[in-house]
Amino acid sequence: LREREASGRRMGVIAGAHVRLGGAGGRILVVDDHIRQAQRVAAELSVEHRPVVETEPDKALLTAKGAVDLIILNTAARGFDGLRLAAQIRSDEQTRNVPVIAVVDFDERPKVMKALEIGVNDILARPIDPQELAARARTQIRRKRYTDYLRDNLDQSLELAVTDQLTGLHNRRYMQGRLEALARRAAAGGEPVGCLVIDIDHFKKINDSFGHEVGDEVLREFAVRLASNVRAIDLPVRYGGEEFVVVMPDTSLDVAQRIAERIRLHVAGSPFRVLGGEELLSVTISIGVAATAGADDTPQAMLRRADAAMYEAKSQGRNRVIA
Ligand code: GH3
Ligand code: MG
Ligand code: MG
Ligand code: MG
């Protein structure tokens, strides 16, 4: 169900949201050291846009780092190297996605080539036709709005797709891919991979006695304790419900068992504060441990062994580690 909810939310982001391109009006930076010339261009644009003028490259770069939708850059400026500025705009993290229209002199073919190589989005030759200027500006701003929208949603969906929303740990889907890659390495004679399957004991009782919200608090607190007890290269995962898995690269069965014991003690050793500290809950966990064994082993088989060991820990009385 959780998986379905998560994917529904994801689809909502993409299919449900409207791409509001609105008008193509935007904030346009006009860069030219010939102030009158720059002001004429700005005046043409001011009917539908908010133009700002800069005459110095350093200031232009600073302004470009604020929210700018388009830069119109005179590459034939006398006081500074326009192509160099274009290259700086393209290479700076904060400005690389801002479209640039290079204004070139009518007879400057080599500069056109150079500008395109640097990655300017469009070229405008002097003398500037106001209508052409307006049309090219509009096109670039629309394109930027759309690619910004796609980029934001892609980042968001990628993040959602691999993260458990309750605890912030990675989810099962993400683990699957990583585990397979690690197991392939191990099977090819690399270092072993260890894994833990962890299940919270009598979790249903917590929900039944204190409510689902408190159950969620316990899951979040557990995730914090879990993550703080594994190395940065280990992968703690919420596998589902109140079940967690930790995948540990370069870890033998012995070592995995010791880590499991440390996690168990760190949970059982101090109560969980819930309801804003009003209530202290004793929580225990059962852990099954396994590690890759030989070239014929698969990650699925290892997980099954760890899962079986976890059930063995339950049947032996819970709050224990079984390898
Ligand atoms: P055992 O010691 O055998 O593991 O007992 P248990 O009660 O922990 O095991 P059981 O699998 O019967 O119950 C797990 C419960 O976890 C049932 C389910 O409602 C609850 N649960 C699963 N996901 C969530 C969640 O995201 N939030 C909360 N609050 N509860 C959850
Ligand atoms: Mg259970
Ligand atoms: Mg349980
Ligand atoms: Mg369970």
Q: What is the pTM of this model?
A: 0.67
Task: Check if 201 has its Cβ closer than 6 Å to any atom of ligand 1.
Answer: yes
For residues 260-282, average pLDDT: 95
Buried b (16+ CB within 10 A) or exposed e, 205-243: ebbeebeeebbebbbebbbebbeebbeeebbbbbbeebb
Task: Choose between 88 and 180: higher pLDDT.
Answer: 88
Helix intervals (H) in 26-99: 35-45, 57-65, 82-91
For the CA of 207, the closest atom of ligand 1 is 29
- For residue 13, the model assigns a pLDDT of 35
Q: List the residue whose alpha carbon is closest to atom 31 of ligand 1.
A: 241
> What is the ipTM score, two decimals?
0.96
- For residue 24, the model assigns a pLDDT of 67
Instruction: Determine whether 108 is an active site residue.
Output: no
Task: Check if 32 has its Cβ closer than 6 Å to any atom of ligand 1.
Answer: no
Per-residue pLDDT tens digits for 205-250: 999 999 999 999 999 999 999 999 999 999 999 999 999 999 999 9
Point out the catalytic residue in the list 56, 221, 242, 279: 242
Task: Check if 203 has its Cβ closer than 6 Å to any atom of ligand 1.
Answer: yes
For residues 36-55, average pLDDT: 92
The pLDDT-based confidence of 11 (bands split at 50, 70, 90) is very low
For residues 97-113, average pLDDT: 91
- For residue 314, the model assigns a pLDDT of 98
Share of the chain above pLDDT 70, in %: 93
Please give the Cα distance from 98 to 89 (Å, whole number). Answer: 8
Poorest-pLDDT segment among 170-174, 179-183, 238-242? 179-183
Please give the Cα distance from 298 to 176 (Å, whole number). Answer: 12
Task: Pick from 199, 203, 284 the residue to mutate for probing ligand 1's pocket: most ligand atoms within 8 Å of its CB.
Answer: 203
The amino acid occupying position 246 is: V
Task: Check if 48 has its Cβ closer than 6 Å to any atom of ligand 1.
Answer: no
- For residue 247, the model assigns a pLDDT of 96
**H helix and E strand count, the chain:** 11, 13
